[in-house]
Chains A and B, each alone.
Chain A
Amino acid sequence: MNLRYRLISLSAPILALSLSVLLTSLILTAIGKDPIETFVLMYDYGTTGKSLVSVFNRFIPLYISAIAVAVGFKMGLFNIGVEGQYLLSALLAAAIGASFSVSRPLHILLIMLIATAISSVWGAIAGYLKVSRGIHEVISTIMLNYIGTGIIAYLLGQVFNDEDAANLIPQTTPLPETGQIPSLNNLLNIENLPSLHGFLPIAIFLGLLYYFLIWKTTLGYNLRITGQNPTAAKFSGVDPKRLTMLAMVISGGFAGLVGMGPLLSYHHQYSIDFPAGIGFAGIGVALLGRNHPVGMAFGAILFAFLERSSQILDLRDVPKEIETMMSAFILLIVVVFYEVIRRYIVTQQIKEASRQVDD
């Protein structure tokens, strides 16, 4: 794709953002709130030092979740199960990780490994059901989310609940210090602000890993061509069943790391306060970022920023649900425009090709 087309496709998210701002403004005006005042309020609150730290902390799991979804998207698989995969693996990793203690980097690595393994297995179930029984992964992953929630409820309430905890909230035993990632504040000389989660470099590394995997390996190549043309891929020697399994396992593996940012660098234990819903939010980010590591990074930052900056609204008598609507507008519009632009580019390419033939 040449530069011109790249620029054209880049216009979609920008258009989506401006249109959603416009639509949100209309709604705000309709309910008698000043839209400009509201956006200035959100911007001012969202760019305070404290908020920026929070935005980055929100970005970490959201970005990894988007990567997990994108791995599936690349070969045309919809992994709706990231939600269940990361929650279940975070609970088990938290519980198992708290039961032993080794030196720091090793302990952290082991916890992440446990989470990845469990999450991969959970994702592989959906993959297996698809290749062996032809069950569509959307159905099976949604169902597996419910099963996962049930298992979490049982395990957290009955098996792993920390009876010694000084409150009534169901929670696992906290991880020992060796299993905690220190914050980046000291490293980056950030003072007087909440802690910036130490998982941030790992999230960036995962973005690079994803890029390398999809665009620089044979496996990634096979995933991409299967996503674009399954029939052609099959005739070029790709085993679709094996690839489906692999994609679900890899997607699940990334999903397992979604919960690690909050777990290792902030919560240090799984409780009912553990952030949920990131698996679903990641689907939106992957769509917005078009499965590209850089695009998804921008998408994750945008959604993290909107979520954080909207927290102030209720305090200033503006319904916070505005932010949910805005995110929904962005997604809806961007999906439409990507499709419009895709068709435009295809026709342009055909025209170019025919012109070259004519010449």
Chain B
Amino acid sequence: MTRMKSKWLVLFIVFGLILTACGGSSDDAAEEVVVEEEPAETLDAPATTAAAAEPEEPAAKVCLVLDIGGLGDQGFNDMAYDGYNKALADFNVEGTFLEPDEGGENRGELLDLCAADGNDLVIGNGFLFAGAITEAAANHPDVNFAITDETFVQGENIRSMVFAEEQGSYLVGVAAALKTTSNVVGFVGGVDIPLIHAFEAGFIQGVRSVNPDITIISKYASVPPDFSGFNDPVKGKEIALAMYEEGADIVYHAAGGTGIGVCQATAEASAGGEKVWCIGVDTDQITTIGSAFPETQEYFLSSMLKQVDVAVYNAIRDVVNGDFGSGSDGGPAVIRENLASGGIDISYTGGYIDDIKDSIEAARADIISGAVTVSRERP
């Protein structure tokens, strides 16, 4: 019985110590709390506090909310982040960037938060923001919003930035068809959704335009509502290895972070025999994935460039210059990037497709002139 009691005594002494420790620290902080309360309360106008700290007042405040996958996908999100950082440096803009929770359910909340926090521009990176951005834009009519990859948004204060992914994919399809020796090529999509179908469709049309007999294997890493396929390098590697096993010697991916694994598979698949290739997407991935994993560098045939960074940069620039809502219809512009505008392109870095450059450039000219139209629907 005494043993029992002494145990509790010790326990209470320990807690007493902890509690007094707490009390001690809060004493020091009591004054601090009073000071800190003020900036925390002025959630609606923190620009004033920021301005007080900096000698020069920022030209604008922008907020970038990235999509699932977040930073480090060596593609879509990283590019948006690059464009945002470049604009921050060039225009003396104050910026915040946020990543949603793993499932992305709180993206609406983050947009709302950014808008309420005195930002002049809130950017949602990716079509998954469509619903959330429409709602946030309606609740904050004074704030500008921008969204990538999505035109079906309604609101006077939203700019859509969309890309003709099918055109660039067509060009890399042409390159793949001219370079394949096994006459089997592969396509890895991140998630089985219409946006990614456009990549696949362009690629198939490009390959077929050169040689209709080439076999194209397509595979998606996940099916909605599971969007993990944009951020699953292990699965990407698995799928690509299987494709190389089946005889494919070139695999094009449109799979975000999953694509890292796709391109990592090349070195392994090439080890035992014929050299195989991968084609990157969004950014010039021979320089991004290639520098993160140098062993993959020599296997990048090309990359389909989708210049999200330029679109994000331009959106911030236009807000700073006051040109944001300058669409032809008076409302916010829908920015359409394609081969003609230069927002969609093919990369020649590495020099592996220099020998077929003429054919690729001919295809580009045909698309720009309208002689060839590339469909976003899979054949």
Contact = CB atoms under 8 A, between A and B. Distances in A.
A149 B25 CA distance: 47
A167 B131 contact: yes
Interface stretch (A231-239, A251-259, A281-289, A310-318): A310-318
Nearest to B154: A166
A48 B15 CA distance: 33
A271 interface: yes
Contact of A311 (B106, B127, B227): B106
A273 B22 contact: no
8 contacts: A25-B25, A36-B29, A44-B41, A45-B43, A166-B152, A271-B225, A272-B225, A315-B113
Given A41-B40, A154-B223, A156-B225, A36 B33 contact: yes
A277 B103 contact: yes
A114 interface: no
Interface stretch (B189-197, B300-308, B322-330, B340-348): B189-197
Contacts of A209: none
Given A44-B41, A315-B117, A167 B225 contact: no
B194 A168 contact: yes
Interface in A137-195: 149, 152-154, 156-157, 166-170
Interface string A318-351: 0000000000000000000000000010010001
A275 B29 contact: no
Contact of A44 (B40, B98, B152): B40
Contact of B109 (A48, A156, A311): A311
A34 B96 CA distance: 20
A9 B41 CA distance: 36
A290 B226 CA distance: 33
B130 interface: yes
Contact of B15 (A15, A45, A157): A15
Q: How large is the interface on B (under 10, 10 to 19, 20 to 34, 35 or more residues)?
A: 35 or more
B193 A168 contact: yes
A307 to B, nearest CB: 9
B130 A169 contact: yes
Given A157-B192, A315-B114, A168 B152 contact: yes
A69 to B, nearest CB: 20
5 nearest A-B pairs in the assembled complex, by CB-CB distance = A272-B225, A167-B130, A167-B152, A170-B224, A36-B29
Contacts of A153: 223-226
Contact of A40 (B33, B150, B153, B193): B33
B102 to A, nearest CB: 9
B56 interface: no
A167 B127 contact: yes
A149 B224 CA distance: 10
Given A41-B40, A168-B127, 11 more contacts: A15-B15, A37-B36, A40-B37, A40-B40, A44-B40, A48-B43, A149-B226, A168-B194, A168-B195, A273-B128, A347-B4
A219 interface: no
Contacts of B131: 167, 169, 271, 273
Contacts of A169: 127-128, 130-131
Interface string A244-285: 000000000000000000000000000111111100000000
B328 to A, nearest CB: 21
Contacts of B114: 315
Interface string B212-251: 0000000000011111000000000000000000000000
B48 interface: no
Contact of B223 (A157, A314, A344, A347): A157
B71 to A, nearest CB: 13
Interface string A196-235: 0000000000000000000000000000000000000000
Mostly, the B contact residues are: helix
Contacts of B194: 168
A314 B110 CA distance: 10
A272 B22 contact: no
B54 interface: no
B150 A168 contact: yes
A347 B7 CA distance: 13
A167 B151 CA distance: 8
A272 B230 CA distance: 14
Interface in B80-125: 96, 98-99, 103-110, 113-114, 116-117
Nearest to A165: B152
Nearest to B41: A44
Contacts of A312: 43, 113
A22 interface: yes
Contacts of B127: 167-169
B32 interface: yes
A22 B22 contact: yes
Interface in A2-55: 15, 18-19, 22, 25, 34, 36-37, 40-41, 44-45, 48, 50, 54
